[in-house]
Structure formats: structure tokens, C-alpha cells
């Protein structure tokens, strides 16, 4: 019996076939993403741009509607 057959038998005995398959699939996707990012400089640039875009959106949306920014709040203190 080879390793794959043994693993399959254990999965069947433990009723974890679906979970094991999902875990293997997720691991494959994760490894693909890591390798693609590490080996593809164009992907690096895209990831950096996406992160910078997310950071800008967070800063732009930092003040909720109806709230005053610190500068606007201090202007009202002089009155």
C-alpha cells in the first residue's frame, strides 16, 4: 500500500475526507498565491498598489459623517 492509499484509508475511517480535501485545496491555493507573488515582480507592484489604495481609503474615511475633524473642533473652541 502506498502513502496516498494509506492516507485515503485513514480519512475514510475517521470520516474526515471532505475536511481533508478542503484543507489540501486551500493549501494549494495559498502556495500558488505565495509563489506567484514571490516569482512575479509585476504581481509585487499590483499588491503594493492595492495596499496603498486601501491605506488611502482608510485615511479618507477616517472621520465619520457628522463628526468634526480635530482642526474643525479646535476652531469652535475660540468662540
How far is residue 53's CA from residue 46's CA, in Å, rounded to a whole number?
10
Percent of the chain's residues with pLDDT above 90: 25
How far is residue 16's CA from residue 29's CA, in Å, rounded to a whole number?
20
How far is residue 51's CA from residue 59's CA, in Å, rounded to a whole number?
13
Answer yes or no: is pLDDT of 10 > 60.
yes
Average pLDDT over residues 23-40: 91
pLDDT at 64: 47
| Cell numbers found for residue 60 | 479618507
Domain residue spans of the chain: 17-50
72: Cα within 13 Å, side-chain hemisphere: 5
Band the pLDDT of 25: cuts 50, 70, 90: very high
**Weakest-pLDDT range from 5-19, 21-35, 58-72:** 58-72
Amino acid at each position: 500500500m502506498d502513502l496516498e492509499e494509506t492516507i485515503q484509508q485513514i480519512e475514510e475511517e475517521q470520516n474526515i475526507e471532505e475536511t481533508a480535501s478542503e484543507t489540501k485545496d486551500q493549501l494549494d491555493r495559498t502556495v500558488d498565491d505565495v509563489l506567484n507573488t514571490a516569482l512575479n515582480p509585476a504581481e509585487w507592484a499590483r499588491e503594493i498598489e492595492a495596499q496603498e489604495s486601501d491605506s488611502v481609503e482608510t485615511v479618507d474615511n477616517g472621520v465619520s459623517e457628522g463628526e468634526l475633524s480635530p482642526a474643525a473642533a479646535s476652531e469652535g473652541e475660540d468662540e
